Amino acid sequence: MPVLIFYKHLKLYAWILSPFIAVVPASLFCVYLYHIPINYDVLVVIYNTNPAEAYEFARGYMWYFIIFLVFYLFFYIKLIERLPREVSLKVSLIMSMAGLALFCVLSLFNDQPATYAAKLKEGVTRSSFGGLTYSVSNLVKNIRIASRHKELVKDFKFNARQKQNVAGRQVYVLIIGESSRAKSWQILGYNRETSPNLAKKDSQLVKFDNVCSGGYITNLAVPLYLTRATPDNYDQHFHEKSIVAAFNEAGFKTYWLSNQSNFQDVAMLTEEASEKVYLPSDYTFTKNVHMDMKLLPLLKSVLANADQKSFIVLHTLGSHYRYSARYPEEYNFFRPSTKTNLVNPTDYTKSKYIINSYDNTIRYTDALISQVIDMIRQTDATSSVSYISDHGEDMFDDERRLSQHIHPVPSKYIAHVPLFVWLSPKYRSVFPDKVSNLKSHEHSPIGSQNIFFSLMDIGNITYPQIDSAKSITSPAFKGGVQRILGGGGKVYKYSDLK
């Protein structure tokens, strides 16, 4: 369409377009692998990756891609050379009008229930030029606001306090899982033995089987559990502090022990902890691989501090792809797995290997949670261990053959996450009502916004005007709002997901 503006400088226009043209092969690559163009979330992943991870991921295609890219750019440059320097005003007018007409007609074929004006707008943001510009500007905006977070929340306070004095030591642990879907947990009904350890602790656990994550990727999901932001108002978490700060205010020592790369939105939360330790693991299995059990010695040393009141977050790498790098040989239970067979994560024909490896990561997580519970039990404190996964994972479940968690329209397998709560014998005797309320909500619909309020209430923490009916420990809890943030900032209703 802009040919009309550049009709005297056609070559200049072609050069201005060249950065967008250069990105097209990468976008095609993305469409080929995941059936989506490069969007905001793909850019977040690219922004947070490193050369080793990118190479691990792309090596099966690398040479085809490079050869294609070289030919493609060569062809484009040759075309620019052959382009006339200028065209007549009349020709440029016809070209631009034809472009505009085509764009308007194509928007008619958009079958979304929206006004025609909205469809035109979506046409701009979904076109490869418009979409890329929109995504890049969104990413820059988010990086900027995240970097200002400290200043934005410097005067923020919940005025949180504990509701009553609890005698003796208190330890509240939150384990944040990664890509662990509810459907693959034996104790939630899966027909494979993926959670033998927690199965043995079944009677001591409260297991929730109807929990919807708030976001389809880590850096959307985790802030939505730990702050008061909701999928419909995600930006709220830039302007507020999280549950970590609330525990600080209530006199707790707070710890963040992480085996995760520290994405911007999550990094903002970890900053609030009194102490933090990172074991930043690469997603590869070539170097810097820390398995989640390496968090246990850190937990042990934190418990040795003998703080009277502590809140400890363990942020695990759980079941993040590459699955076979998440667990050691002795947990290679389901075979054949990708531990010994290198396969591409999107290769449906190798799904048997991929699912076996994925299920092994769940077994490993099961062992981890179980060992954390045993360690906390030994403190003899009023304590709890809660486990929730950030989001689920696609595992070639239906004819869409989706894998990992990159598709911008979340599936029900991405949204449905496990939530388990273990409460110590002392906790059960001090707060029998909370325990029975939790138990009575095992099958209630729970959404991401309930997690903040529930963890607060498990820790017996309140603040003025707290909406305690959002807590699953409350007798007033009537079920939560189950919505999930997908790609491009779109929010989906859990019950609508396929």
Positions in the binding site for Zn ion (CB under 5 A): 178, 218, 390
Question: Which is nearer to Zn ion, 361 or 437 (by Cβ)?
Answer: 361
Residue 404 three-state SS: strand
- What is the phi-psi region of residue 34: left when phi exceeds 0, alpha when psi lies from -120 to 50, beta otherwise? alpha
**Separation between Cα atoms, residue 299 and residue 245, nearest integer Å:** 20
CB of 195 within 8 A of CB of 336? Answer: no
Q: Which two tokens stand for residue 267?
A: 């990094």
**Separation between Cα atoms, residue 60 and residue 63, nearest integer Å:** 8
Q: Which two tokens stand for residue 114?
A: 């929206």
Give first-to-last CA distance, the chain, whole Å: 38
Nearest distance in Å: CB 325, Zn ion: 15
State phi, psi for 178 to the nearest 5 degrees: -135, 125
**Separation between Cα atoms, residue 16 and residue 20, nearest integer Å:** 8
Nearest distance in Å: CB 390, Zn ion: 4
Nearest distance in Å: CB 95, Zn ion: 46
Nearest distance in Å: CB 260, Zn ion: 8
Nearest distance in Å: CB 179, Zn ion: 5
CB of 163 within 8 A of CB of 433? Answer: no
- Secondary-structure percent of the chain, ordered helix, strand, coil, rounded to 5: 50, 15, 35
Question: Which is nearer to Zn ion, 218 or 259 (by Cβ)?
Answer: 218
Question: Which is nearer to Zn ion, 7 or 256 (by Cβ)?
Answer: 256
Nearest distance in Å: CB 462, Zn ion: 30
Question: Which is nearer to Zn ion, 131 or 410 (by Cβ)?
Answer: 410
Amino acid at 264: Q
Residues 241-274 as b/e (b if ≥16 CB within 10 A, e otherwise) read: bbbbbbbbebebbbbbbbbbbbbbbbbbbbbbbe
Nearest distance in Å: CB 456, Zn ion: 23
Question: Which is nearer to Zn ion, 221 or 461 (by Cβ)?
Answer: 221
Question: Which is nearer to Zn ion, 218 or 360 (by Cβ)?
Answer: 218
Question: Which is nearer to Zn ion, 220 or 312 (by Cβ)?
Answer: 220
**Separation between Cα atoms, residue 343 and residue 377, nearest integer Å:** 41
Residue whose C-beta lies closest to Zn ion? 218
Nearest distance in Å: CB 178, Zn ion: 5
Question: Which is nearer to Zn ion, 34 or 76 (by Cβ)?
Answer: 34
Q: Which two tokens stand for residue 496?
A: 């609508």
**Separation between Cα atoms, residue 183 and residue 392, nearest integer Å:** 9
**Separation between Cα atoms, residue 325 and residue 322, nearest integer Å:** 6
Question: Which is nearer to Zn ion, 178 or 457 (by Cβ)?
Answer: 178
Question: Which is nearer to Zn ion, 178 or 359 (by Cβ)?
Answer: 178
CB of 318 within 8 A of CB of 326? Answer: yes
Nearest distance in Å: CB 235, Zn ion: 20
Nearest distance in Å: CB 215, Zn ion: 9
**Separation between Cα atoms, residue 449 and residue 221, nearest integer Å:** 10
Residue 378 neighbours by CB under 8 Å, 6+ apart: none
